[in-house]
Amino acid sequence: MPSAAIRAQLQDRLEDLHARHAASGHDGVEKVYDERRGMYPPEEAGDELDRLAIAITTVDGETFAVGDHDVPFSLQSMSKVFSYALALGRHDSDELADTVGVEPSGDAFNSITFDERHHRPFNPMVNAGALATTSLAAGDTPEERLDAILGVMRACAGDQGLHADEETAAAELRAADHNRATAYLMRAEGMIEGDVEELLGLYLRQCSVHVTCSTLSTMAATLANGCVHPTTGDRAVPADRVRDLLSVMYTCGMYDSTGEWAYDVGLPAKSGVSGGILVVVPGKMGIGVWSPGLDAYGNSARGVAICEEISKKLGLHLFATDDEDRLTVEATGD
């Protein structure tokens, strides 16, 4: 546990961060996503644009949270982390390399482009790659396959109740033509096998799992803790595959602005179109942020700004050595 003084200081800093960003307007917001309405321009948004939550969970399992941290939203693309984690646990690197690469694509998340040299999707964090890793989930029925993915999510969250929100999944399915086209093309190219509609349904249900921001930061803390849940001790990913997961999040997790994110924030992360960002500070903590206004890349605009500030203020950038205002949130023994 951090000392009592550090804990109080951390909570104060989060409150201050939240207050400033809540008052900062919506600069950089180009679109808003709603689980029922899909994507729409910020001019058409109401109060939902003001939702904002920030949570930090230490690798000891203590959560500090501010704002709308107990309001549920869907994982969307953040779910790709967990289907990839499941695949890592079941397939060695050579087997997985036949299905999906580990190369940033530089393209939008839903781009229908492939790594032509290797004839596979570029990486598991773009839609094509996620469809490929989701297709590896084992089970005799779609329910069993979803349960396998949920198993990893639940182990990370320490919450056996996590489940797909069926209304969200139904709305996703109504707007799934792009993903459908991607999946059929992949099957025609021999990149996936089996029933495409079933795979699409499975993928969209994994995207529709609801979490709160506090749960998101706990899931991130598990990843930060070598993929072992801080309090239950459940292991979500084999120890020798943790580096694979975090490396791909680091190089591919923030759509086509991952390079900028790596430069500015310097941490493995994954964003989702719901406005959530899950950030891993290896060995230290998980961070969850949620704000539904999205920038041009599809990342939460406030979320990115907040993570930049947290990384700088807590000195978390993996390669930084010079942060002056650093607040050390490590165990002190008291």
Smallest distance from ligand GLU to CB 7, Å = 33
CA nearest to 310, candidates 196, 227, 242, 220: 220
The helix/strand/coil state of 192 is: coil
Sorted by sequence, the CB contacts under 8 Å of residue 189 that are 6+ apart come out as 114, 119
Residue 165 touches ligand GLU, criterion: CB under 6 A: no
Q: Report CA dihedral (57, 60, 62, 68) to the nearest 10 degrees.
A: 20
Task: Give dist(CA 122, CA 59) in Å, integer.
Answer: 31
Q: What is the DSSP letter of 115?
A: B
Task: Give dist(CA 73, CA 203) in Å, integer.
Answer: 17
Q: Which of 1, 49 has the CB closer to ligand GLU?
A: 49
Residue 135 touches ligand GLU, criterion: CB under 6 A: no
Q: Which of 2, 129 has the CB closer to ligand GLU?
A: 129
Q: Which of 196, 255, 265, 312 is catalytic?
A: 255
Residue 123 touches ligand GLU, criterion: CB under 6 A: no
Q: Which of 31, 80, 270, 284 is catalytic?
A: 80
Stretch 195-234 residues interacting with ligand GLU (CB under 6 A): 204, 207
Residue 109 touches ligand GLU, criterion: CB under 6 A: yes
Stretch 249-288 residues interacting with ligand GLU (CB under 6 A): 272-273
DSSP lists the bridge partners of residue 150 as: none
Active site residue 77: yes
Active site residue 100: no
Q: Which of 203, 279, 281, 291 is catalytic?
A: 203
Structure tokens at 313: 């203020």
Q: Which of 100, 211, 273, 279 is catalytic?
A: 273
Residues of the shown chain interacting with ligand GLU in the complex, contacts defined by CB under 6 A: 76-77, 109-110, 127, 172, 179, 204, 207, 272-273, 298
